[in-house]
Amino acid sequence: MPQIAPPAVILMDPQLAENIGAAARVMANFGLDDLRIVRPRDGWPQERAWAAASGADWPLDNARICGTVDEAVADLQYILAATARPRETQLPVYTPRQAMPELRKASGEGLKTAIMFGPERAGLETSDIALTHGILTVPVDERFRSLNLAQSVAVCAYEWRAQLLDAPREAFHHNIDPPVDGQAMLGLYEQLEAELDDAGFFHPPEKKPSMQRNLRIALGRARFTDQELRTFRGVVTALSKGRGRVLAKRAAALAAEAAKAGE
Amino acid sequence: MPQIAPPAVILMDPQLAENIGAAARVMANFGLDDLRIVRPRDGWPQERAWAAASGADWPLDNARICGTVDEAVADLQYILAATARPRETQLPVYTPRQAMPELRKASGEGLKTAIMFGPERAGLETSDIALTHGILTVPVDERFRSLNLAQSVAVCAYEWRAQLLDAPREAFHHNIDPPVDGQAMLGLYEQLEAELDDAGFFHPPEKKPSMQRNLRIALGRARFTDQELRTFRGVVTALSKGRGRVLAKRAAALAAEAAKAGE
């Protein structure tokens, strides 16, 4: 099976260099690099494109500048047309999520693939769409359909990468150390409850069992790690007894005051 | 079942008005409208934001401008932090695709939700992340990780809408009372931290910020209900008052000793 290659990006008649640069940047973010620009309105190269790319120079440096759409698609075998308004064509219509497996499958079969984007205001010409093999429509809200060109590239590029990575059930909580065991939590509960007993917290006494239960449920939900458990044991100690030095200092001050008063 | 509401978007210290406007535009594209801007670098309102929004004025017109992160999260109950570098925090890490069902589920349970984005260059401060309940990381290519702020909002907003359209009708469970909002949690944190300060817990002093953050993350994970929050405020009060008594007892003993020595 051939290596899976990301789709090329074809920008038809783009108007703003900033959008071309922003598109290049987001292509780089998601591992795409083959950029083809058909009739950029303000000529090429344009410095503002490189500025907007913020360092993602390679799609711009290697961009293929084409005078016609025919040139841009010449070596391609499977192309999707990104358009907000699916036209009356006999082409399948995909959301980005549905489209990416199609592109991946085509690439896996050794085909060269691309996504074609229209100019900022007008969108793709029907004659350009006629050179593609499917319609890709980003599911925008009816109330505000006007998607920026680079944002449209962003969504498609993101989806390409997301579906490539989609190893489902990928470690959700890999950042989190494992929670401590029940014995350790019980140690914290017992320490806390003894201090609270001491402080007269469990009042009236007949409510103590349910108060204890509620405290344990709430704290248990946090699923403390070992480090956190030790921190919270320290918190309980500090709150109830203070830290030795501070406490000793303050007690000494109080004692001095008392001694003075007693003079 | 409550209506599913899209997450709010919190922009922390955004630098460029163009990015704020582009974020508003793409929010509108995908049906989001609650925008909160914390300390926009160049003040507010800024014309360039409206220009960049290309007609998606309503998120900007109704944007809440906040002086602090506390203000921005005050009414929220479930927040994800968008960051390219998952830190060493004890928070779950989600891709946008994994995150959206969590946001939808929270909203279905009646919680107010948000996604928090950091400033253009620096990303989110760890102290801001400590107020959230999970990390959202866009799966960018290692070779070019720098994702534009509005593109990052685009990917998240797109995923929100894409999963909403994909989502089967689900039943939500109501066994657990809803968690309190950010303001209530901040109240607990501040009370606890003041008492711990008093008790000399934050030692050495330069470690205080990270100790605070870790405490907040661990307690935040418990997602206290209103009743539980009141219980824990009571716990902190009871334990600290107890400390007063211990202190008084010890001071009395020292005073008695001093008096004896002075006899």
Chain A residues with CB-CB distance to B30 below 8 A: 140-141
Contact A139 B162 (CB under 8 A): yes
Contact B97 A162 (CB under 8 A): yes
pTM: 0.82
* Domain co-membership, A50 together with A133: yes
Domain extent for A243? 182-262
Contact B239 A195 (CB under 8 A): yes
> CA nearest A243 in B: which residue?
B200
pLDDT band at residue A243 using 50, 70 and 90 as cut-offs: low
Confidence (pLDDT) at B190: 94
> CA nearest A164 in B: which residue?
B139
Q: Which of A114, A134, A167 is the last residue of a domain?
A: A167
Name which of B2, B56, B3, B64 is nearest B32 in CA terms: B56
* Domain co-membership, B152 together with B192: no
Q: Which of B167, B199, B220 is the last residue of a domain?
A: B167
Distance CA A28, CA A157 (A): 9
Q: Which residues pair with A80 in a beta bridge?
A: A115, A134
Mean pLDDT, chain B, integer:
89
> CA nearest A221 in B: which residue?
B222
CB nearest B200 (choices: A165, A224, A246): A246
Asked whether residue B215 is assigned to any structural domain, the reply reads yes
Asked whether residue A235 is assigned to any structural domain, the reply reads yes
Residue type, B166: D
Confidence (pLDDT) at A263: 62
Chain A residues with CB-CB distance to B167 below 8 A: none
Helices (H), chain A: 17-29, 47-53, 58-61, 69-73, 96-108, 126-129, 149-165, 182-198, 208-220, 226-241, 244-262
* Domain co-membership, A187 together with A242: yes
Confidence (pLDDT) at B135: 92
Condensed to tens digits (0 to 9), the pLDDT of residues B243-259 reads: 767 667 777 777 787 77
Contact B242 A161 (CB under 8 A): no
CB nearest B243 (choices: A192, A235, A240): A240
Confidence (pLDDT) at B73: 93
Contact A218 B232 (CB under 8 A): yes
pLDDT at residue B70 tops 90: yes
Asked whether residue A67 is assigned to any structural domain, the reply reads yes
Asked whether residue A71 is assigned to any structural domain, the reply reads yes
Q: Which of B142, B167, B192 is the last residue of a domain?
A: B167
In CATH, what number is assigned to the domain containing residue B128?
A: 3.40.1280.10
- Beta strands B78-82 and B93-94 are unpaired
CB atoms within 10 A of CB B60: 24
Distance from CA of B157 to the nearest CA of A (A): 10
Chain B residues with CB-CB distance to A161 below 8 A: 139-141
Contact B231 A239 (CB under 8 A): no
Condensed to tens digits (0 to 9), the pLDDT of residues A53-108 reads: 999 999 999 999 999 998 999 988 899 999 987 666 778 889 999 999 999 998 98
Condensed to tens digits (0 to 9), the pLDDT of residues B155-197 reads: 999 999 999 887 654 444 444 578 889 999 999 999 999 999 9
3-state secondary structure of A88: coil
pLDDT band at residue A114 using 50, 70 and 90 as cut-offs: very high
Mean pLDDT, chain A, integer:
87
pLDDT band at residue B263 using 50, 70 and 90 as cut-offs: low
Distance from CA of B52 to the nearest CA of A (A): 10
* Domain co-membership, A188 together with A144: no
Max mean pLDDT range (A72-86, A243-257, B31-45, B72-86): B31-45
Asked whether residue A150 is assigned to any structural domain, the reply reads yes
* Domain co-membership, A145 together with A186: no
C-beta of residue B218 within 8 angstroms of C-beta of residue A222: yes
* Domain co-membership, B195 together with B132: no
Helices (H), B130-176: 149-166
Q: Is the dihedral of CA A52, A57, A59, A64 positive or negative?
A: positive
Please state the φ and ψ torsions of residue A3, each to the nearest 5 degrees: -60, 135
Please state the φ and ψ torsions of residue A114, each to the nearest 5 degrees: -160, 160
Asked whether residue B56 is assigned to any structural domain, the reply reads yes
Please state the φ and ψ torsions of residue A202, each to the nearest 5 degrees: -80, 90
Asked whether residue B173 is assigned to any structural domain, the reply reads no
Answer with the residue of higher pLDDT: B174 or B226: B226
Chain B residues with CB-CB distance to A174 below 8 A: 93
* Domain co-membership, A51 together with A156: yes
Question: Residue B152, CB half-sphere, CA atoms under 13 Å: how many?
Answer: 29
Assign residue A169 a region (left: φ > 0; alpha: ψ between -120 and 50; beta: otherwise).
Answer: left
Chain B residues with CB-CB distance to A56 below 8 A: 144, 146
* Domain co-membership, B140 together with B196: no
Distance from CA of A181 to the nearest CA of B (A): 16
Contact B215 A235 (CB under 8 A): yes
* Domain co-membership, B155 together with B188: no
Contact A141 B252 (CB under 8 A): no
In total, the C-beta contacts within 8 angstroms joining chain A to chain B are: 242
* Domain co-membership, B36 together with B142: yes
CB nearest B238 (choices: A97, A174, A196): A196
Name which of B187, B123, B157, B137 is nearest B8 in CA terms: B157
Question: Residue B206, CB half-sphere, CA atoms under 13 Å: how many?
Answer: 0
Max mean pLDDT range (A236-250, B36-50, B235-249): B36-50
Contact A254 B255 (CB under 8 A): yes
The answer to whether the peptide bond before residue B7 is cis (omega within 30 degrees of 0) is no
* Domain co-membership, B67 together with B188: no
Q: What is the dihedral of CA B119, B125, B131, B133, to 10 degrees?
A: 80
Looking at the 3D structure of chain B, how many domains does it have?
A: 2
Contact A239 B234 (CB under 8 A): no
Contact B146 A29 (CB under 8 A): yes
* Domain co-membership, B161 together with B189: no
Name which of A157, A127, A136 is nearest A23 in CA terms: A157
Contact B95 A140 (CB under 8 A): no
